[in-house]
Amino acid sequence: MLGKAEEQKRKAIYVILLVLYWLGGYFIINSLSQGREFSIMHSIVDRWIPFVPQWIYMYMAIWLIIFSPLLIVKDFPTFRQLVMAYVFVFSISFLVFLIYPVKMIRPMIAPQDFSARMVAVLYSVDKPFNCFPSIHVSGIFLSALVCLRVRWKAGIFILIGAILISLAALYTKQHYFVDILGGVAVALAGYDIFFVRSNKWQQGAVKQ
């Protein structure tokens, strides 16, 4: 068994590598997607939802939520499962981004107030690619599912945050409605493989 200090050291290394993988992969693929042929997944739901720049503040809350389970999960084997689930979710998203590029058609912004200027800054940094499935939505819903399993009160709070951030992604025109559904599906797959099925496999191995 690892000592407490060694566990904390490994956790810190995992977190750093995970964040680098997420951001590095995301922005590299986003850059490579410019100039490629792309699809547009605009639906009737997207037509119903107006552009509301004030939702940008809720959208930015993703930074408070997406890796929150890394602080909540204390058990090291569970922590390691969580990291593998994140890697799986991010890798599936990266693969789809490369195979099936989707471009978000964004509104023209007149930066007349602070909220609109914030959205304009976001648009300038985060180019309108890497849409389907939403890697942000898959990350936050995976966070919510794991927290519901480990500490359900915190999980409910994070689940509400995940739903609100998903709505913010629609109202700020960062994502199409289908992107949100795709992100939730990837999160459910990651959770099922690394927290439901893996536990069954481990229990089966112990019985044998």
pLDDT tens digits, one per residue of 113-171? 899 999 999 999 999 999 999 999 999 999 999 999 999 999 999 999 999 999 999 99
Please tell me the predicted confidence (pLDDT) of residue 1. Answer: 58
Please tell me the predicted confidence (pLDDT) of residue 98. Answer: 95
Please tell me the predicted confidence (pLDDT) of residue 7. Answer: 85
DSSP state of 50: P
Q: How far apart are CA 191 and CA 208, in angstroms?
A: 25
Please tell me the predicted confidence (pLDDT) of residue 14. Answer: 92
- 146 and 89 in contact (C-beta within 8 Å)? no
Task: Please report, in angstroms and rounded to a whole number, the separation of the first and last CA atoms in the chain.
Answer: 23
Please tell me the predicted confidence (pLDDT) of residue 206. Answer: 43
Please tell me the predicted confidence (pLDDT) of residue 34. Answer: 85
Say how many domains are in the chain: 1
Structure tokens at 147: 């927290």
Mean of per-residue pLDDT scores for the chain: 91
Phi, psi values for residue 98, rounded to 5°: -75, -40
CA distances from residue 118 to 62, 97, 100, 121 in whole angstroms, order as listed: 15, 25, 29, 5
Which of 167, 129, 137 is CA-nearest to residue 39?
129
Please tell me the predicted confidence (pLDDT) of residue 8. Answer: 85
Residues of the chain predicted below pLDDT 70: 1-2, 198-208
- Residue matched to tokens 């979710």: 89
Structure tokens at 53: 């720049």
Please tell me the predicted confidence (pLDDT) of residue 4. Answer: 77
Owning domain of residue 19: 4-207
